[in-house]
Amino acid sequence: MSKINLDKLEDAQFDVLKEIGNIGAGNATTALATMLSIKVDMSVPNVALLPFDRISEFIGSEEQTVVGILLEIQGDIDGMMMFLFDMKSAHHLVNSLMMRDIHENEDLTGEFSEMDMSALNEIGNIVSGSYLSALSGLTGMKMVSSVPALSIDMLGALLSVPAIEFGKYGDKLLMIQSQFGEDDFVTGYFLLIPELESYDKILSSLGM
Amino acid sequence: MGNMIKVGMADLKVCKCPDALTTLGLGSCVGVALYDPVTKISGLLHCMLPDSTQIRNNSNLAKFADTGIDELIRQMTALGANRSRLVAKIAGGAQMFAMSSMNDSLRVGERNIIAAKEKLKEYNIRLLAEDCGLNYGRTVEFYSETGDYVIKSVGKPVKTI
């Protein structure tokens, strides 16, 4: 029997998970900003435990097209990790990474080329790597991530993947939102989806 | 046309003619539409997981294909539908991410489809049409007036089954 109940999370447990999200997302955005050599200006991450029918609302509408990057985590902690970027942010990231002149490339809604997709995957790699190493440093546990998988589709459809994973344990999903960038903020969403047993490990490694 | 009633994730709704039912952004979840062609009473289920017996926390009936279909039939017959006349159309159950290591939870779409079909068979409900699997999300609309199941996806033409 697990110590944690996602539907009736204690305040202290929620705070710890929130802090983990803060640290992970903070590191991930710093890594990304360094890679893209843009000024880091990060907002305080917004953490929420949401019921399934409201998870899309947190980001946008269910039918909005977004870029999703999914990785599996293995090691002392098992689970999944997901990053979501809206189309405009994803184009902005790819254009910065490819050092394209953004002013000549005003179309921020069009399709991605194969090269762009691979750049997005690389962004996923970097972001997840720094997220996990922060989490690993904090908890003293070992974890590795799989090769990222990328999908561009409706928000609701992409979110069904982590929602199903959470659905096995409860009716809510833990979501961490982080914004960063220069003048024009890039919005990214981080979802850490540990398996239920892994929650216990995370919490007990932090003395809960 | 009547109202468009929205069905959320792990949710189900029933309606009478001329209302319509919709659920947005089906991924690995499955949208099961049941229909009584005589009374035109319709129901739509958006289930996430195949089997309620495998999960400890199973109080939300609409979360699972098995208990979700049970509950959908119960609510539809309560509204006046005849169980023996019911027909079904299903959509969804995609695999949204192509992962190299096939973790069970990533194949859940496929398992959802199988579970839904088995449950329908148990009730002797005929499956008229399906648009399942593959790797893209779907928004579905079910019209009680015509029994049409309309499927919309990103970058693909609208499909009616």
Q: Using one digit for the tens of pLDDT, what is the confidence trace for A116-134?
A: 888 888 888 888 888 888 8
Average pLDDT taken over every residue of chain A: 78
Q: Helix or strand or coil: residue B12?
A: strand
Each domain of chain A, given as residue ranges in start order, spans: 6-205
Instruction: Decide if pLDDT at A3 tops 60.
Output: no
Q: How confident is the model at residue B14 (pLDDT cuts 50, 70, 90)?
A: very high
* A146 neighbourhood in chain B, CB within 8 Å: 99-101
Percent of chain B with pLDDT over 90: 50
Tokens of B69: 């279909």
Cα distance between residue B21 and residue B14, in whole Å? 8
- Residue A1's pLDDT is what? 42
CATH number 3.30.230.10 is the correct assignment for the domain at A6-205: no
- Tell me whether B111 touches chain A (CB under 8 Å): no
- Lowest mean pLDDT, pick from A96-100, A154-158, B94-98, B154-158: A96-100
Each domain of chain B, given as residue ranges in start order, spans: 4-160
The predicted model gives A142-155 an average pLDDT of 86
The predicted model gives A23-30 an average pLDDT of 82
More confident residue, A40 or B28: B28
The predicted model gives A100-109 an average pLDDT of 60
* A151 neighbourhood in chain B, CB within 8 Å: 96-97, 135
Q: pLDDT, tens digit, for every residue of B111-129?
A: 899 999 999 999 999 999 9
Tokens of A62: 């269910």
- Lowest mean pLDDT, pick from A56-65, A181-190, B21-30: A181-190
* B98 neighbourhood in chain A, CB within 8 Å: 149
pTM over 0.90: no
- Tell me whether A204 touches chain B (CB under 8 Å): no
Instruction: Decide if pLDDT at B30 tops 90.
Output: yes
- Residue B13's pLDDT is what? 93
Q: pLDDT, tens digit, for every residue of B34-63?
A: 999 999 999 999 999 888 887 777 778 888
Q: How confident is the model at residue B74 (pLDDT cuts 50, 70, 90)?
A: very high
- Tell me whether A57 touches chain B (CB under 8 Å): no
The predicted model gives B80-98 an average pLDDT of 89
Interface test with B, best of A112, A164, A173 (most B CBs within 10 A): A164
Task: Write out chain A in H/E/C secondary structure.
Answer: CCCCCHHHCCHHHHHHHHHHHHHHHHHHHHHHHHHHCCCCCCCCCEEEEEEHHHHHHHHCCCCCEEEEEEEEEEECCCEEEEEEEEHHHHHHHHHHHCCCCCCCCCCCCCCCCHHHHHHHHHHHHHHHHHHHHHHHHHHCCCEEECCCEEEEEEHHHHHHHHHHHHHCCCCEEEEEEEEEECCCEEEEEEEEEECHHHHHHHHHHCCC
- Residue B151's pLDDT is what? 92
The predicted model gives B86-114 an average pLDDT of 80
CATH of domain B4-160: 3.30.1330.200
Cα distance between residue B132 and residue B138, in whole Å? 9
B17 is catalytic: no
The predicted model gives B99-105 an average pLDDT of 59
